[in-house]
Amino acid sequence: MKLSRLWQPRNPAFWLMVALNLLSTVLAWIARSLELPPLAALTVAAFAIGNALLGLYLMYLLMRDEPANPARDA
């Protein structure tokens, strides 16, 4: 697994990972900054954690996949 495999701008999974991680950052900011009722705060926090976990899973899949063009990496 190589960290450099994360940068795949032509792969839709890359953009989904970026969007999910940005969304979980915004949700975490909302949960900490706004005075929400307990149920709303719990819901926002659960979505933030779920988005972060899904983003990590996509990151793992992107790092695990073999390059589409092996000759280019050589």
pLDDT at 2: 74
Residue 60 parent element (H or E): helix 38-64
> What is the DSSP code string of 13-32?
HHHHHHHHHHHHHHHHHHHH
pLDDT at 68: 62
Domain boundaries of the chain, sorted by first residue: 11-66
CA 42 to CA 51: how far, in whole Å?
Answer: 14
Convert the pLDDT of each residue in 44-54 to its tens digit. Answer: 989 999 998 99
pLDDT at 64: 84
Residue 3 burial (CB < 10 Å; 0-12/13-18/19+)? exposed
- Per-residue model confidence as pLDDT tens for the chain (74 residues): 677 788 888 989 999 999 998 998 899 899 899 999 999 999 998 999 999 899 999 999 988 866 666 555 54
pLDDT at 70: 57
